[in-house]
A and B are shown apart, each in its own frame.
Chain A
Amino acid sequence: MTSLIRETRTHGLKEALLGGTGLREVGRLEGFVLRFLFAVVVWRSLEFYPAYPTAPKPVGLAAWPALWEWLGWEITRLSDPAFWAQCLTWVKVALVFYVLGFALPLALPVITVVHIAIRTLNNSQGAAHHGFQMVSLALLTQMLVVWFLAAVRGWYFVRKNGFPRWAAPGNWTWLWVYTIAIAAASYIISVCSKLDESKGQWLKNSPYVATQIVKTHRQNYYNSLDPQFIQGVQPATAPVADPATDRYRHPIPASADWLGRHPDLARLIFGAGFFLELLVILAILDRRAALLFGLGLVSLHGSIAWLMELSFPFNERIVGVFFVNAAGWLILMAKDPAWRPSRKVWLFCLLGATVLLAAHLATAASESTLAHFLDLAHHPAAIIPGLFNWPVAIKWAVVLATQTLLVASVWVSVKSVLRRPA
């Protein structure tokens, strides 16, 4: 706070807020936006409350009976709605501190412990769910980095030296880049498991994923008997009852049928996702790389949701906030004229975004391939607006503005890569 006041006196409020944001750095205002959006993601993820009264297959912290004995506590206490409401109040207060960037070494542990504990109880039922792991890991990472920074600042304070630039207040680069790093690591872990489990044959055998597409459609149907997952055709009963073969015959999803008949193209499609996950380590390089891989990962998740009816909304949201980071690009453009597109480029980007959005809205009800690609194209811009319950008109206006900004960001990124050295 004092550094903000000092900088405001010397540079003015605009400079103090925008300063520090660069190709590889995250300044004060961008840090605030990242924390605010991530706080919304965390809060949304806590809305999924599984009230399991027991933990029959304990994992993680739940599998440390000595810890719980020492604490005199049970993780299943979280299934008490009154206690859970109390936990949410603590998290709410801690999130306010987190967004303000104040007392993070104390606020982050509260959020992290509650988030990990409730999902640990959920995963201690003998059925692992992987939809929330990235949020918990991001919180854990931020907590560890915050503690490290607090120790560094304490050390320099005791020695009466000024803080090094990377640990100075107002520099939020660590929050951005280490969250990207842990998210990227999650994708690389998935690649390692694929290679390990398939004994290096994953790419070769990837066309068999098509069978899994049939399975995920079946499972989605049996979740709530929604006929959209069986192409609207109700389960057929054979004229001569034979439960073993015909009783629950459903149509095969078109995507699985197509991939099953085109194994080489299936290999190409699944291979693209495989290499995207493998190379995502490069996203830590700078803002351009993060954007490029962010757009790729959002498209990957969108494609998986389309083909397999399997979505990972919280992974997408973390990628949307930290990798794609539209707000960061806007701040960079506002601060540095070198990264600011010309009016002509803005107009071109707005026109392109408008056409894409109009085409998406016009085909939203369609099940055609074109409609799915248009849905994918607007997906990165729709992640942040999707976090809020805004009226439709505001939502689509923000999507249009974000889409324009993202097209412009891609433009300046490509231009910077192609620029000749001075």
Chain B
Amino acid sequence: MSFRALLSAPLWPRLRQHGARYLWLGLFMGVAIFVSLKTGEHYPFSHFPMYGNPNPKPVDYYFLTDVTGQPLPVVDLTGDTAPKLKKRLNTELNEWGFANGTRVKSEIPPDVRTRLTKEVLDSFVAQSKHRGTPLPARVQLWRGEIHTGPDGYHETFVMEAEN
């Protein structure tokens, strides 16, 4: 049936022909969406929050270097990607914040942040040893921040942890 024919057909026979099918499908999709949004990050469900809140604040990313500052290939040595450095750290910070009544990361005391960052770095070091591709004896975890301004982008760097 063409689109025009579909539009010109009487409503009831059209609904009777396909309505039940779309009603069930719509219900199924509605339940799937509701459950996923309510459940959050509980595999296989997710609310897919990636890039959900673009804003002018600086964007950060993390990477590993040796003690001289030479970058290290995160995937090759740990089996996980560089984004996972940030994700794991965020999970730790969020958990601490949730347990201590703050949702703002900047309010987390510096000593707590240093401890949690060090724990994340240690977990990557342990992971690299477990898979037989150990990181160098001394590793640094750096945070890069990308700032957006009227003159374009510029970046700053902070060493967050060292083992």
Contact = CB atoms under 8 A, between A and B. Distances in A.
Same complex origin of A and B: yes
B10 to A, nearest CB: 13
A319 to B, nearest CB: 15
Interface stretch (A34-42, A220-228, A325-333, A345-353): A220-228
A421 B6 CA distance: 9
A9 interface: no
Contact of A224 (B32, B47, B76): B76
B32 A185 contact: yes
Contact of A184 (B18, B21, B29, B50): B29
A245 B54 CA distance: 24
A128 B45 CA distance: 11
Contact of A181 (B18, B28, B81): B28
B48 A189 contact: yes
B100 interface: no
B42 A214 contact: no
Interface size class of B (residues with CB under 8 A): 35 or more
Contact of B71 (A177, A196, A222, A243): A222
Interface residues of A, number: 86
Interface string A47-59: 0001111001101
Given A211-B148, A244-B158, A222 B63 contact: yes
A402 interface: no
A417 B29 contact: no
A405 interface: no
Contact of A205 (B44, B54, B69): B54
A57 B50 CA distance: 19
Contacts of A418: 2-3
A123 B43 CA distance: 7
A15 to B, nearest CB: 23
A96 B12 CA distance: 43
B146 A211 contact: yes
A185 B35 CA distance: 11
A125 interface: yes
Interface in B55-74: 55-56, 59-61, 63-64, 69, 71-74
Interface string A109-147: 000000010011001111111100100110011000000
Contacts of A208: 54-56, 148
A194 B50 CA distance: 8
Given A185-B29, A185-B33, A249-B155, A116 B144 contact: no
Contacts of A141: 28, 32
Interface stretch (A66-74, A252-260, A378-386): A252-260
Contact of A247 (B44, B56, B87, B157): B157
27 contacts: A52-B127, A59-B41, A119-B44, A125-B80, A126-B88, A127-B87, A128-B87, A130-B50, A133-B44, A133-B46, A177-B21, A178-B25, A185-B29, A185-B36, A188-B33, A189-B33, A193-B47, A194-B52, A222-B63, A222-B73, A243-B157, A247-B69, A248-B71, A249-B155, A260-B152, A418-B3, A421-B5
Given A137-B44, A212-B51, 12 more contacts: A182-B32, A188-B29, A188-B33, A193-B47, A193-B48, A202-B54, A219-B82, A219-B83, A223-B74, A244-B158, A256-B153, A420-B2
